[in-house]
């Protein structure tokens, strides 16, 4: 698949560092601060055994990286995927630092991953993997230190196992050690939809600025998991026509619009969107180039590159995924007038409601979904407006504007704290 090929060729850590360098140059950042912020604070690699159902023992590799702790404890998801690398996790951890700073929530950046294809595991094996991985990274995590959350191929059940494992170690229940938990274990109302809801709040703001009516607008979504499928559903609720969606097996296209609820039901039953009746098949690469109003990449990194950026057919690219666009592609999209809502702003709704969940856990409180969504909207709209003001003032693209805001906030915090010892 073209996307996988492109992703394999480009190192996300190099992309993350180049994006940081562009901002550091423009901010004329102090060289010492620059050296500090350019590298992760901590990188942990673990190799751990898991007993499989057939009695054999597999040794898996996992990572937890903390990029920066200047503004608060590390925060970031755990990914289970066969292509996970340390460099990918480092990039994702750095992006988390900037993301938390863009929306001004008091966290630093972290990320974790295990090199595994969870689709090949039974529930029992998945639980054993999760509990042992949690144990291995327990030297880093904790409600005041580093708080994991779901990411690609992890969900509320995985977070419940992580919370239980950590709690067993310390001898009492610690809901605040992970977010994205089931509601029954201290999860927040609205967390499952939060990433997608935040994406849609930023699309609404962008559409307002571009005078694009979302009612009847056409939308294509790459990746039909937590972020992508719910974003598709919420865009349909705005009256938009979702004309194409995809997952790792391929995509489906219907120019008159897909019934998103029915596609979700099809995916639940068949494990993929492919084969959905009444739609044409489309490759992941072709989906990205469809003429449409809004393109939502919601799968993996490096899918919009210098190879296809000239042919991206959307007016708005809303980055639900982390790192879908390379710096070379950014320059091309900016020149072509494509309105990119950068990942560290666009998908920050997930970590924002994770922050709400953590606050509720620490206070033994529970907020209504109405309150959660209203607070989320306020934060996303404010961050969007700050990024757009910066882009206008600096005459730059939205990604650089978001980086300028975020890097300055983290640099200020780091400088104020001073160097220890
Ligand atoms: P998920 O596991 O729920 O869904 C991932 C989707 O991407 C699946 O439909 C999968 O089939 C598809 N996919 C995987 N490889 C693909 C490929 N090569 N081509 C096309 N599709 C492919 O994961 P998610 O939580 O929805 O995460 C998706 C993206 O959103 C990631 O970049 C993640 O970092 C980002 N994100 C997620 C959250 C969150 O709260 N879950 C928050 C912020 C950002």
Mutate to test the pocket of ligand 1, among 114, 147, 152, 317 (most ligand atoms within 8 A of CB): 152
Tell me the pLDDT of the chain averaged across its residues.
Answer: 96
Evaluate: CB of 274 within 6 angstroms of ligand 1: no
d(CA 230, CA 365): 26
Measured by CA distance, the residue closest to atom 17 of ligand 1 is 248
Mutate to test the pocket of ligand 1, among 195, 224, 358 (most ligand atoms within 8 A of CB): 195
d(CA 384, CA 389): 9
d(CA 362, CA 349): 20
CA of 153 to the centre of ligand 1 (A): 8
Q: Are 178 and 148 in contact (CB under 8 A)?
A: yes
Measured by CA distance, the residue closest to atom 13 of ligand 1 is 248
What pLDDT shows up at residue 1?
37
Evaluate: CB of 266 within 6 angstroms of ligand 1: no
Mutate to test the pocket of ligand 1, among 288, 298, 317 (most ligand atoms within 8 A of CB): 298
Mean pLDDT of 54-72: 98
Active-site residue among 75, 90, 99, 111?
A: 111
Mean pLDDT of 216-238: 98
Evaluate: CB of 325 within 6 angstroms of ligand 1: no
Measured by CA distance, the residue closest to atom 19 of ligand 1 is 248
d(CA 188, CA 321): 22
d(CA 262, CA 282): 18
Evaluate: CB of 195 within 6 angstroms of ligand 1: yes
Judged against a pLDDT cut of 60, whether residue 134 lies above it is answered with yes
How wide is the angle at C-alpha 2 spanned by C-alphas 113 and 245, nearest 5°? 80
Q: Is the pTM higher than 0.85?
A: yes
Where would I find the beta strands (DSSP E) of 319-420?
339-341
Tell me which residue of 327, 329, 347 sits closest to 400, measured CA to CA: 327
| Domains parsed from the chain with CATH numbers | 40-184 (3.40.50.10860), 192-346 (3.40.50.720)
Mutate to test the pocket of ligand 1, among 107, 110, 223 (most ligand atoms within 8 A of CB): 223
Judged against a pLDDT cut of 90, whether residue 4 lies above it is answered with no
* Atom of ligand 1 lying closest to residue 3 CA: 18
Judged against a pLDDT cut of 60, whether residue 73 lies above it is answered with yes
Q: Which two tokens stand for residue 315?
A: 């007016």
**What are the tens digits of pLDDT across the range 292-317?**
999 999 999 999 999 999 999 999 99
Judged against a pLDDT cut of 80, whether residue 264 lies above it is answered with yes
Let me know if 111 is a catalytic residue.
yes
Neighbours of 359 (CB within 10 A): 15
Q: Which two tokens stand for residue 8?
A: 């394999």
Burial of 115 (0-12, 13-18, 19+ CB in 10 A): middle
Confidence of residue 9 (pLDDT cuts 50, 70, 90): confident
Judged against a pLDDT cut of 90, whether residue 5 lies above it is answered with no
Least confident of 8-12, 231-235, 305-309, 361-365: 8-12
Evaluate: CB of 3 within 6 angstroms of ligand 1: yes
Burial of 170 (0-12, 13-18, 19+ CB in 10 A): exposed
* Atom of ligand 1 lying closest to residue 273 CA: 9
Evaluate: CB of 298 within 6 angstroms of ligand 1: yes
- Backbone angles phi and psi of 238, in degrees to 5: -80, -5
Judged against a pLDDT cut of 70, whether residue 289 lies above it is answered with yes
Mean pLDDT of 168-183: 98
Confidence of residue 182 (pLDDT cuts 50, 70, 90): very high
Evaluate: CB of 223 within 6 angstroms of ligand 1: yes
CA of 198 to the centre of ligand 1 (A): 15
Evaluate: CB of 40 within 6 angstroms of ligand 1: no
Judged against a pLDDT cut of 80, whether residue 68 lies above it is answered with yes
Burial of 47 (0-12, 13-18, 19+ CB in 10 A): exposed
d(CA 324, CA 182): 28
What pLDDT shows up at residue 123?
98
Residues in the chain: 421
Evaluate: CB of 321 within 6 angstroms of ligand 1: yes
Evaluate: CB of 326 within 6 angstroms of ligand 1: no
Where would I find the beta strands (DSSP E) of 231-382?
241-247, 250-253, 280-282, 292-297, 314-318, 339-341
For 6-26, letters b (16+ CB in 10 Å) and e give bbeebbbbebbbebbebbbee
Judged against a pLDDT cut of 60, whether residue 59 lies above it is answered with yes
Burial of 400 (0-12, 13-18, 19+ CB in 10 A): buried
Half-sphere CA count of 386, side-chain side, radius 13 A: 17
CA of 291 to the centre of ligand 1 (A): 22
What pLDDT shows up at residue 3?
43
**What are the tens digits of pLDDT across the range 340-395?**
999 999 999 999 999 999 999 999 999 999 999 999 999 999 999 999 999 999 99
Q: Are 356 and 379 in contact (CB under 8 A)?
A: no
Confidence of residue 8 (pLDDT cuts 50, 70, 90): low
Evaluate: CB of 152 within 6 angstroms of ligand 1: yes
**What are the tens digits of pLDDT across the range 159-168?**
999 999 999 9
Helix, strand or coil for residue 147? strand
Q: Are 397 and 330 in contact (CB under 8 A)?
A: yes
Angstrom distances, CA of residue 166 to CA of 69, 96, 142, 196, 362: 21, 23, 8, 29, 16
Judged against a pLDDT cut of 70, whether residue 2 lies above it is answered with no
What pLDDT shows up at residue 241?
98
Q: Are 27 and 404 in contact (CB under 8 A)?
A: yes
Mean pLDDT of 123-134: 98
């Amino acid at each position: 698949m073209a996307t996988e090929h492109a992703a394999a060729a480009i190192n996300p850590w190099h992309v993350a560092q180049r994006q940081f360098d562009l901002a550091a140059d423009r901010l004329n950042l102090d060289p010492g601060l620059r050296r500090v912020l350019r590298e992760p604070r901590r990188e942990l690699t673990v190799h751990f055994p898991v007993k499989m159902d057939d009695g054999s023992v597999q040794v898996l590799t996992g990572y937890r990286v903390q990029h920066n702790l200047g503004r608060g404890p590390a925060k970031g998801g755990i990914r289970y995927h066969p292509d996970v690398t340390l460099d990918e996790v480092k990039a994702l951890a750095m992006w988390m630092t900037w993301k938390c700073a863009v929306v001004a929530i008091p966290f630093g950046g972290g990320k974790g991953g295990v090199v595994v294809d969870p689709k090949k595991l039974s529930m029992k094996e998945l639980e054993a993997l999760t509990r042992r991985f949690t144990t291995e990274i327990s030297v880093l995590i904790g409600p005041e230190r580093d708080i994991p959350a779901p990411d690609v191929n992890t969900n509320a059940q995985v977070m419940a196992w992580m919370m239980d494992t950590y709690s067993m170690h310390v001898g009492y229940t610690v809901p605040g050690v992970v977010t994205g938990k089931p509601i029954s274990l201290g999860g927040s109302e609205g967390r499952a939809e939060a990433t997608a809801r935040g994406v849609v709040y930023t699309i609404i703001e962008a559409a307002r600025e571009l005078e694009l009516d979302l009612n009847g607008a056409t939308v294509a979504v790459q990746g039909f998991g937590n972020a992508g499928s719910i974003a598709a559903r919420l865009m349909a609720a705005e009256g938009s026509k979702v004309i194409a969606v995809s997952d790792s097996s391929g995509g489906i296209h219907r120019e008159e619009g897909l019934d998103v609820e029915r596609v979700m039901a099809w995916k639940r039953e068949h494990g993929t969107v492919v084969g959905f009746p009444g739609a044409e098949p489309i490759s992941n690469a072709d989906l990205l180039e469809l003429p449409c109003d809004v393109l939502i990449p919601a799968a993996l990194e490096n899918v919009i590159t210098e190879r296809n950026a000239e042919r991206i057919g959307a007016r708005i690219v809303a980055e639900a995924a982390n790192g879908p666009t390379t710096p070379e592609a950014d320059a091309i999209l900016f020149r072509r007038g494509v309105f990119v809502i950068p990942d560290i702003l666009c998908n920050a709704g997930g970590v924002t409601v994770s922050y709400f969940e953590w606050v509720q856990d620490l206070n033994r409180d529970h907020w209504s979904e109405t309150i959660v969504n209203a607070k989320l909207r306020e934060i996303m709209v404010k961050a969007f407006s700050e990024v757009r003001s910066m882009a206008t003032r600096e005459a730059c693209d939205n990604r650089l504007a978001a980086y300028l805001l975020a890097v300055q906030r983290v640099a200020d915090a780091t400088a104020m704290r001073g160097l220890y010892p």
